[in-house]
């Protein structure tokens, strides 16, 4: 339908033009097929080419100041900032006019090879023309260029960065007048002649889109004109012709001797479709055409405007004569591209998004430029919203590297914007984008490097692959615990029928007919995962949680739910028969519900008077040890109690409850049962945002003290809370943290047999407050993420697990460590769950590094979670209606388990003792076919005694492990 005459007439373009645009769109769609998701989004550890240009930039009006000194004329910005409701000016700015040495020193400290700056037209020609020549202003730039060359820094000079001499605006109407084409050519001629021997890169005009649309359309920037909706297009027309005139001048008269390059700096957003439709893709193309293509297509393609602009604007858009097309086409020696949050859409031009979604994706933009404009040389000029947030800088540089290495885009340089803080155009001094902080209140306008400057200086070679970045090869020990975890499990009705009815076989009449009838009822219920489903994964351990409120509904262990206890007893026995070791949590903390028995839940929960709850928990633990301990040799008392929503007083009682439960096992059950008991802590890693800054190392340590040390130090360490935690709260005059008396200290200290952690992701922290929504006032830390990380929805940061494991080793020596839960949330509908495959491979590989390289006493790894049914989005098993689906990640995890890690290719296989074979008769009942059901029901139902029929019906109910429902015998 695209190629119908109606479509062609509407867009006024040829079928060839349509197909050409669709080819580019198809290339964009195919773009990420080069590397499968999410590998294409993973961080790339590679280096830039040896001749890659590293630069930093500024603009004259933003930083120079001295707006009337030494004969300088007024610019349109000098006039604009004095009109309307403007509150600030660039009269002083960063005062670079008087601080050449300070600026050059900062450039030298960054170790960049190039410095991009702009010339103030009105400082050289105060009224805009050669007749008003100002020698002193010209000498300022001569001195700057000489100082740069003395420090082996190459100048990249912009002739026009938005600051037109005001005299030209007042007398001629500025860029709306075609006469400015020749005036600009003459100004460029002087600059080429005066500075050209030392300048090899020239930018004629910076961001003509902003000049035309916002200077002469919206009026938000100088000269502030906004009364003619068609004027921006006439201005853009003149800007293109002025650039072309300057380029041809250089090409004919200066290039043979000076050997430089000339271009126009264009800026652009990136736009992605709001819907997966061809129409949305066309609108994305049109959006890019109206911003970047407006100037790029005439320069790099055919000397004319994009078809989409011509079709939608019609006569509002000026036309080029054939001679003018030839004059404009090809007048760029490289593609100077600017991209960032404060560029084209800084003024929120929703009308140019055409209903699509803007996205900060420099890599896709570079790919589009490469495809659209036939592989030009690209000189990137990135401007970022917040320079203190160096991770935007890291992200853009990383995307540039991927464009070079993976996409084959010929990017030759990168310019970070900007060198120093300055006057930020329509935002005045409201934001700071410099790599160097400028104190505008000091007499010498002092410059200080920010963390982003330190980062930019260190990134010269890109991101080389260090030994810690490479995947590890090796295997775990033979007795390594491979497991899978689930928050809770749905009671398996079939197993329950076997357990209870077979147990009473002597007194009840259990016939084969009854068995088949019960099977039919079970099969009509929603599915629940069987032991065989766990065994299919290849694990040798299974971790699940009991529910205190369901097992002891009244809170009195003298009256437990014996049916549910019987089920768990049978379930754990079935696991053992399948060579799967049960790992059982007594109490799993959740924010949604306490899972405490009703009498305790209604009475201040863990803060019950007279220590009722900790003692009740110890009694509940004894019940579970006694009833299940024959089959369970690995116990978790409390799972993830160290939640930031838990008060310090509640946490104190939880510590006592854990300790009482541990001592109960140690004194009463360990000798006969031979098991182990500990608790599992949530331990996402916390990394300093700027690891080279002590100011951020301390906040990261503080967060770890409050999140992990809070529970870990009393048990695994000193028997008291971390010193850093106490001293910080004391500094805040807070009395919230309880004090351990000697009795409690002795009670809690050493109550562990292993260190178990749940780990999912990593966060960054800094001391500098930037966003109140992610700032923790009590700890005085700002939480952040690295924008290069894969998100889903939490960051995927494999090395964070290795750091967490090393934290445990460094603080508590060689304590045995288990990763009790590790997983990623992914769309449950994605059964080819490539993100989970990537996640498990890389996190397990980091665990291997911790074991083999760092000496962490790692004993086991548990993937989270078993099924989407109980843990939505995390499961190795998915579910559609009543059908259980095996995801791709399950087989990948099984493969890692079968190889016990990542064996060295060609190495001899690991020799491990053979495991005992599973019980051959354990699952015979499960595998009996359901046949003859209707006949059996019709002929034999009347023969069933009442009690066996009652048993069959009751056992066919699906009993859920929840607060709301418990079924007593």
In this predicted model, what pLDDT tens digit does every residue of 458-503 receive, in sequence order? 888 899 988 888 999 999 999 999 999 998 665 444 444 444 444 4
Position 215 scores a pLDDT of: 96
Q: What percent of the chain stands above pLDDT 90?
A: 64
- Give yes or no: residues 542 and 660 share one domain: yes
Position 515 scores a pLDDT of: 44
Position 431 scores a pLDDT of: 79
Residue 622 belongs to a domain: yes
Position 696 scores a pLDDT of: 79
What is the C-alpha to C-alpha distance for residues 214 and 223, in angstroms, rounded to an integer? 9
Residue 746 belongs to a domain: no
Q: Which residues of 203-236 are buried (b: 16+ CB within 10 A; e: fewer)?
A: bbbbbbbbbbbbbbbbeebbbbbeeeeebbbbbb
pTM: 0.84
Position 392 scores a pLDDT of: 83
DSSP symbol at 215: I
All residues at 6 or more sequence positions from 234 whose CB lies less than 8 Å from its CB, including other chains: 176, 318
Q: Which two tokens stand for residue 17?
A: 């033009």
Residue 483 three-state SS: strand
What is the C-alpha to C-alpha distance for residues 961 and 969, in angstroms, rounded to an integer? 15
From residue 596, give the alpha-carbon distance in Å to each of 21, 428, 505, 606, 613: 63, 57, 35, 9, 9
Residue 948 belongs to a domain: no
* Beta bridge pairs of residue 784: 764
Q: Which two tokens stand for residue 322?
A: 């054939």
From residue 908, give the alpha-carbon distance in Å to each of 804, 900, 905, 911, 964: 31, 13, 9, 9, 54
Residue finishing a domain among 439, 465, 491: 465
Residue for token digits 């160290």? Answer: 642
Q: Which residues of 762-777 are buried (b: 16+ CB within 10 A; e: fewer)?
A: bbbbbbbeeeeeeebe
What is the C-alpha to C-alpha distance for residues 408 and 378, in angstroms, rounded to an integer? 12
Residue 918 belongs to a domain: no
Residue 579 belongs to a domain: yes
HEC readout, 372-391: HCCCCCEEEEEECCCCCCHH
- Give yes or no: residues 447 and 376 share one domain: yes
Q: How many residues does this entry show for the chain?
A: 969
Give one DSSP letter per residue of 930-960, joined into a string: --SHHHHHHHHGGG--HHHHHHHHHHTS---
What is the maximum span of the chain, computed from C-alpha positions, in angstroms? 118
What is the C-alpha to C-alpha distance for residues 370 and 359, in angstroms, rounded to an integer? 18
Position 342 scores a pLDDT of: 56
- Give yes or no: residues 156 and 274 share one domain: yes
Q: Which residues of 904-927 are buried (b: 16+ CB within 10 A; e: fewer)?
A: eeeeeeeeeeeeeeeeeeebeeee
All residues at 6 or more sequence positions from 738 whose CB lies less than 8 Å from its CB, including other chains: 648, 649, 652
Residue 437 three-state SS: strand
Handedness of CA 208, 214, 215, 218 (dihedral sign): positive
Which secondary-structure segment (H or E) carries 250? none
Per-residue model confidence as pLDDT tens digits over 701-718: 999 999 999 999 999 999
- Give yes or no: residues 136 and 212 share one domain: yes
How buried is 485 (Cβ within 10 angstroms: 0-12 exposed, 13-18 middle, 19+ buried)? buried
Per-residue model confidence as pLDDT tens digits over 615-642: 999 999 999 999 999 999 999 999 999 9
Position 882 scores a pLDDT of: 78
- Give yes or no: residues 229 and 85 share one domain: yes
Residue 29 belongs to a domain: no
Phi then psi for residue 966, to 5 deg, are -140, 145
What is the C-alpha to C-alpha distance for residues 12 and 17, in angstroms, rounded to an integer? 10
- Domain with 853, as residue range(s), is 797-904
- Give yes or no: residues 368 and 248 share one domain: yes
What is the C-alpha to C-alpha distance for residues 52 and 404, in angstroms, rounded to an integer? 11
Q: Which two tokens stand for residue 867?
A: 């099924």
Residue finishing a domain among 853, 883, 904: 904
What is the C-alpha to C-alpha distance for residues 715 and 126, in angstroms, rounded to an integer? 75
For strands 474-475 and 901-902, give the pairing.
antiparallel
Residue 17 belongs to a domain: no
What is the C-alpha to C-alpha distance for residues 457 and 461, in angstroms, rounded to an integer? 10
Q: Which two tokens stand for residue 138?
A: 């010209």
**In 12-134, alpha helices (H):** 15-30, 60-63, 76-80, 100-110, 121-124
Dihedral in degrees, nearest 10, Cα atoms 321, 322, 328, 330: 160
What is the C-alpha to C-alpha distance for residues 774 and 784, in angstroms, rounded to an integer? 7
- Give yes or no: residues 809 and 879 share one domain: yes
Number of domains in the chain: 3
Q: Is there a contact between 594 and 633 (Cβ–Cβ < 8 Å)?
A: no
Q: Is there a contact between 391 and 33 (Cβ–Cβ < 8 Å)?
A: no
Helices 390-405 and 451-458 pack at an angle, to 10 degrees, of 20
- Give yes or no: residues 458 and 348 share one domain: yes
Residue finishing a domain among 400, 433, 465: 465
- Give yes or no: residues 243 and 116 share one domain: yes
Q: Is there a contact between 585 and 639 (Cβ–Cβ < 8 Å)?
A: yes
Query: Could you give the angle at the alpha carbon of 753 between the alpha carbons of 752 and 758, nearest 5°?
Result: 80
- Give yes or no: residues 444 and 564 share one domain: no
Q: Is there a contact between 401 and 463 (Cβ–Cβ < 8 Å)?
A: yes
- Give yes or no: residues 154 and 277 share one domain: yes
Position 19 scores a pLDDT of: 54
Cβ neighbours of 179 (radius 10 Å): 12
What CATH number is associated with residue 657? 3.20.20.80
Residue 835 belongs to a domain: yes
- Give yes or no: residues 657 and 564 share one domain: yes
All residues at 6 or more sequence positions from 886 whose CB lies less than 8 Å from its CB, including other chains: 536, 831, 876, 877, 878
Residue numbers in the chain where pLDDT is lower than 50: 1-18, 31-33, 344-345, 347-348, 383-387, 491-528, 918-969
324 alpha carbon, distance to own chain's centre: 47
């Amino acid at each position: 339908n695209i190629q119908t005459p109606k479509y062609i007439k509407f867009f006024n373009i040829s079928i060839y033009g349509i197909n050409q645009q669709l080819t580019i769109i198809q290339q964009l769609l195919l773009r990420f097929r080069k590397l499968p998701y999410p590998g294409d989004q993973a961080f790339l550890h590679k280096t830039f080419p040896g001749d890659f240009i590293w630069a930093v930039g500024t603009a004259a009006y933003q930083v120079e100041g001295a707006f009337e000194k030494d004969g300088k004329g007024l610019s349109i910005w000098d006039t604009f900032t004095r009109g309307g409701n403007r509150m600030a000016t660039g009269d002083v700015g960063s005062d670079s006019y008087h601080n050449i040495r300070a600026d050059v020193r900062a450039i030298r400290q960054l170790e960049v090879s190039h410095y991009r700056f702009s010339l103030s037209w009105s400082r050289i020609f105060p009224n805009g023309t050669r007749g008003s020549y100002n020698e002193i202003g010209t000498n300022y730039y001569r001195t700057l260029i000489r100082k740069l060359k003395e420090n082996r820094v190459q100048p990249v000079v912009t002739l026009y960065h938005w600051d037109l001499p005001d005299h030209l605006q007042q007398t001629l109407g500025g860029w709306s007048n075609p006469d400015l084409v020749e005036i600009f050519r003459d100004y460029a001629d002087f600059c080429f002649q005066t500075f050209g021997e030392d300048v090899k890169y020239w930018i004629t005009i910076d961001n003509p889109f902003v000049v035309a649309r916002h200077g002469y359309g919206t009026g938000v920037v100088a000269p502030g004109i906004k009364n003619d909706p068609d004027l921006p297009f006439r201005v853009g027309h003149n800007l293109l012709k002025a650039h072309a005139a300057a380029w041809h001048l250089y090409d004919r008269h200066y290039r043979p001797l000076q050997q430089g390059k000339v271009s126009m700096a264009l800026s652009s957003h990136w736009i992605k479709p709001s819907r997966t439709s061809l129409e949305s893709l066309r609108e994305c193309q049109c959006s890019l055409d109206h911003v970047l293509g407006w100037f790029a297509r005439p320069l790099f393609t055919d000397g004319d405007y994009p078809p989409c602009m011509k079709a939608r604007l019609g006569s509002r858009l000026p036309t080029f004569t054939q001679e003018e097309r030839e004059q404009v086409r090809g007048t760029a020696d490289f593609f100077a591209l600017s991209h960032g949050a404060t560029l084209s859409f800084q003024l929120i031009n929703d009308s140019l998004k055409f209903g699509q979604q803007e996205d900060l994706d420099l890599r896709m933009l570079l790919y589009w430029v490469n495809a659209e404009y036939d592989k030009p040389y690209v000189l990137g000029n990135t401007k970022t919203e917040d320079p203190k947030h160096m991770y935007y800088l890291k992200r853009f540089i990383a995307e540039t590297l991927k464009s070079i290495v993976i996409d084959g885009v010929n990017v030759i340089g990168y310019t970070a914007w900007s060198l120093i803080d300055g006057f930020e155009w329509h935002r005045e001094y409201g934001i700071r984008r410099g790599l160097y902080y400028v104190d505008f209140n000091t007499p010498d306008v002092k410059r200080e490097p920010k963390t982003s400057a330190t980062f930019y200086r260190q990134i010269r070679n890109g991101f080389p692959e260090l030994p810690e970045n490479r995947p590890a090869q090796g295997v775990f020990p033979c007795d390594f615990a491979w497991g899978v975890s689930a928050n809770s499990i749905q009671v398996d009705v079939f197993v329950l029928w076997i357990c209870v009815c077979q147990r009473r076989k002597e007194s009840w009449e259990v016939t084969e007919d009854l068995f088949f009838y019960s099977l039919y009822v079970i099969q009509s219920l929603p599915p629940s995962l069987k032991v065989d489903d766990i065994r299919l994964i290849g694990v040798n351990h299974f971790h699940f949680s009991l529910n205190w409120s369901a097992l002891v509904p009244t809170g009195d262990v003298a009256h437990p739910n014996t049916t549910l206890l019987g089920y768990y007893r049978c379930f754990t026995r079935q696991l053992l028969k399948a060579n799967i070791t049960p790992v059982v949590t007594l109490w799993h903390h959740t924010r949604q519900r306490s899972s405490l028995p009703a009498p305790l839940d209604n009475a201040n929960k863990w803060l019950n008077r007279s220590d009722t709850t900790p003692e009740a928990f110890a009694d509940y633990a004894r019940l579970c040890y006694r009833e299940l301990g024959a089959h369970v040799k690995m116990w978790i008392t409390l799972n993830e109690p160290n939640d930031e929503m838990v008060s310090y007083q509640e946490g104190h009682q939880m510590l006592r409850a854990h300790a009482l439960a541990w001592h109960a096992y140690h004194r009463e059950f360990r000798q006969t049962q031979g098991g182990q008991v500990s608790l599992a802590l949530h331990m996402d890693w916390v990394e300093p945002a700027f690891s080279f800054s002590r100011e951020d190392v301390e906040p990261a340590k503080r967060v770890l003290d409050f999140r992990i040390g809070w529970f870990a130090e009393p048990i695994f360490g000193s028997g008291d809370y971390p010193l850093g935690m106490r001293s910080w709260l004391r500094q805040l005059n807070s009395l919230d943290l309880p004090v351990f008396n000697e009795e409690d200290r002795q009670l809690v200290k050493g109550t562990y047999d292993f260190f178990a952690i749940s780990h999912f992701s990593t966060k960054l922290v800094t001391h500098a407050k930037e966003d109140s929504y992610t700032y923790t006032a009590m700890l005085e830390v700002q939480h952040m993420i690295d924008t290069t990380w894969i998100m889903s929805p939490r960051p995927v940061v494999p090395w964070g697990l290795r750091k967490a494991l090393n934290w445990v080793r460094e603080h508590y020596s060689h304590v045995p460590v288990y990763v009790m839960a590790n997983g990623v949330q992914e769309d449950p509908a994605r059964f080819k769950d490539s993100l989970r495959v990537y996640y498990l491979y890389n996190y397990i590989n980091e665990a291997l590094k911790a074991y083999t390289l760092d000496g962490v006493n790692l004993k086991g790894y548990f993937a989270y979670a078993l099924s989407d049914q109980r843990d939505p989005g995390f499961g190795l098993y998915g579910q559609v209606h009543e059908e259980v689906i095996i995801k791709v990640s399950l087989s990948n995890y099984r493969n890692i388990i079968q190889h016990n890690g990542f064996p060295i290719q060609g190495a001899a296989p690991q020799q491990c003792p053979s495991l005992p074979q599973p019980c051959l008769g354990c699952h015979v009942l499960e595998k009996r076919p359901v046949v003859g059901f209707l006949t059996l029901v019709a002929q034999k139902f009347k023969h069933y005694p009442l009690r066996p029929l009652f048993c069959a019906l009751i056992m066919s109910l699906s009993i859920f492990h929840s607060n709301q429902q418990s079924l007593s015998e």
